[in-house]
Amino acid sequence: MRAAGIARQLAVLTLITAAVCQAAQPQRIISTAPSITEVLYALGLGNRVAGVTQYCRYPVEAQQKPKIGSFLQPDFERILALKPDLVLVIKNPIQVADRLRKLGVHAEEVNQDSIEDVFRSIESIGRLTGTEAAARKLSAELRSQLNQVRAKAQTQPRIKALFLVGRSPGTLQGMVGVGPKTFIDELVTLAGGDNLLSNSPIQYPKVSVEQVLAGDPQVILDMGDFAHVEGKPLEQQQQFFQLWARYPNLQAVKTKRVVQIDSDVFIHPGPRMGIAARAIYDHLHGAAAR
């Protein structure tokens, strides 16, 4: 009987401890970046997300959450009105986390510049939200996906590639490319690409037509004027190909390997990086190499 009583007491104590731990965990979390939102949902925390940015479109459930502005232009009044007990911020030049802390908000900053930074951010978010086990599982799955792409790429020839994350609508002016020390550069590299802009002194350099012609990439991955909107109309796709067709001597144009990128999966450092890496691999090496 005494043993049964002790067992019941231990069971009650376990339930109380679990309840206290749950209460201590943040229940109203605000995300200030699409990539953070994706991590939160991947960790099973969708029901605790109290607010997201206007560009948080994945998963679709996130679109129904209250909006707090954008990554670089957060609405501080809206954030305060949502009464968060945790706001997650990507390291940025406008010191959003510090500004929130001065307003009495618990704000934590994560860095997602590189692939390893992304893994560290997942682990950090797991610790902050009491989902360490889920974070470890997510990281392991993501590493496995990236390693699979890396292994396949090692059996293929290296491809000189240019990845453009933006430019002026309807022109090849104002182009911005992917430089070194970025997670996109690392995805291109592990997928078997040699980044044309790997020697740039900055992470996202401006690119001229003359630079593209001089570098003569074999594959061009061009997000154009994507601007966070997926599903370009057909006439814009036609215009896209006409823009590059003006330079028929480019290797990528000759071989019709100028690829229009119209998905945010390539620019959000987080749980979908494995999907992005596989897609980049396919664009670089073609369907025959799958």
Residues 172, 244 within the same domain? yes
Confidence of residue 14 (pLDDT cuts 50, 70, 90): very low
Residue 122 CB neighbour total at 10 angstroms: 23
Read off the pLDDT band of 4 (50, 70, 90). low
| Residues 131, 166 share a domain | no
Do 75 and 161 share a domain, yes or no? no
pLDDT-derived band at 147, boundaries 50, 70, 90: very high
pLDDT band per the 50, 70, 90 thresholds, residue 289:
low
44 domain-assigned: yes
Q: Has residue 150 been placed in a domain? A: no
d(CA 15, CA 186): 45
178 and 220 fall within a common domain: yes
CA distance 37 to 62: 8
Total domains present in the chain: 2
151 falls within a domain = no
203 torsion bin: left (phi>0), alpha (psi -120 to 50), beta (else):
alpha
Could you read off the pLDDT of 202-213 as tens digits, one per residue? 999 999 999 999
Judged by average pLDDT, the poorest of 8-12, 171-175, 191-195 is 8-12
Same domain, 61 and 180: no
In a domain, 50, yes or no: yes
CB neighbourhood size of 127 (10 A) = 11
260-264 mean pLDDT? 88
Average pLDDT, integer, range 177-200: 97
Judge if 10 and 139 occupy the same domain: yes
Task: Report the pLDDT value the prediction gives residue 169, as an integer from 0 to 100.
Answer: 84
In a domain, 248, yes or no: yes
Is 175 a residue whose pLDDT tops 70? yes
Q: Are residues 45 and 165 in the same domain?
A: no
152 lies in some domain: no
Task: Assign residue 87 the CATH number of its domain.
Answer: 3.40.50.1980
Bigger pLDDT: 35 or 10? Answer: 35
Closest CA to 29 of 119, 114, 128, 118: 128
What is the pLDDT at residue 228? 42
Same domain? 231 vs 175: yes
The domain in which residue 41 lies consists of 2-144
**Whether residues 253 and 163 fall in one domain:** yes
Domain annotation covers residue 267: yes
Give pLDDT, residue 226.
62
| Same-domain status, 122 and 64 | yes
Q: What is the mean pLDDT of residues 18-43?
A: 84
Average pLDDT over the chain reads 89
The C-alpha atoms of residue 290 and residue 287 are separated, in whole angstroms, by 5
Higher pLDDT, 13 or 126: 126
Asked if residue 187 and residue 256 are part of one domain, the reply reads: yes
pLDDT of 17: 38
In this structure, are residues 282 and 192 in contact, taking their beta carbons and an 8 Å threshold? Answer: no
Percent of the chain's residues with pLDDT above 90: 79
> Which of 109, 144, 179 lies at the terminal end of a domain, its last residue?
144
- Are 91 and 204 in the same domain? no
**For 38-80, what is each residue's pLDDT tens digit?**
999 999 999 999 999 999 999 999 999 999 999 889 999 999 9
Whether the per-residue pLDDT at 137 is higher than 90: the answer is yes
